[in-house]
Amino acid sequence: MEHSSQLTISLSDVNGPLNLVVTGPLTLESSKSLTAALDRGIHPAACPDLTLDLKDAEHIEPAGLAALQLYLTQVRQALGLPEPAVEFPVLPLEGEKVLP
């Protein structure tokens, strides 16, 4: 499986809100790259209003999600900030066709 994710950081103004949009597969391997990129670039704790947007993620591994959430929570707890909101992809409704 491909382990390459893209991270787009969207900031409406200096005071937030900050949206971290993940596209591609979110795996344990890709979460390591994402957290390393966050450490090098913008610090996710800089904005109190943070949303982790996974709506466009192609695949979400539980271990990758847990690692990314743990990273964000630990960084933010040290500064007394709340856990980030998480937006998940919409799941197909029961009885709805998933494949053509």
CB-CB neighbours of 18 under 10 Å: 20
pLDDT digits (tens, 9 = 90+) for 27-80: 999 999 989 888 876 666 567 888 899 999 988 999 999 999 999 888 888 888
Question: Is a pLDDT exceeding 80 seen at residue 88?
Answer: yes
| Ramachandran angles phi, psi of 74, nearest 5° | -65, -40
pLDDT digits (tens, 9 = 90+) for 22-37: 999 999 999 999 898 8
Give me the pLDDT at residue 5, please.
Answer: 81
User: Model pTM?
Assistant: 0.78
What would the DSSP string read from start to end of 48-68? Answer: SSEEEE-TTEEEE-HHHHHHH
DSSP letter (8 states) at residue 98: S
- Which domains are delineated in the chain? 6-87 (3.30.750.24)
In this structure, what token pair is assigned to residue 79?
Answer: 């500064």
Contact (Cβ atoms closer than 8 angstroms) between residue 100 and residue 66: no
Indicate the pLDDT class of residue 92, thresholds 50, 70 and 90: low
Contact (Cβ atoms closer than 8 angstroms) between residue 30 and residue 4: yes
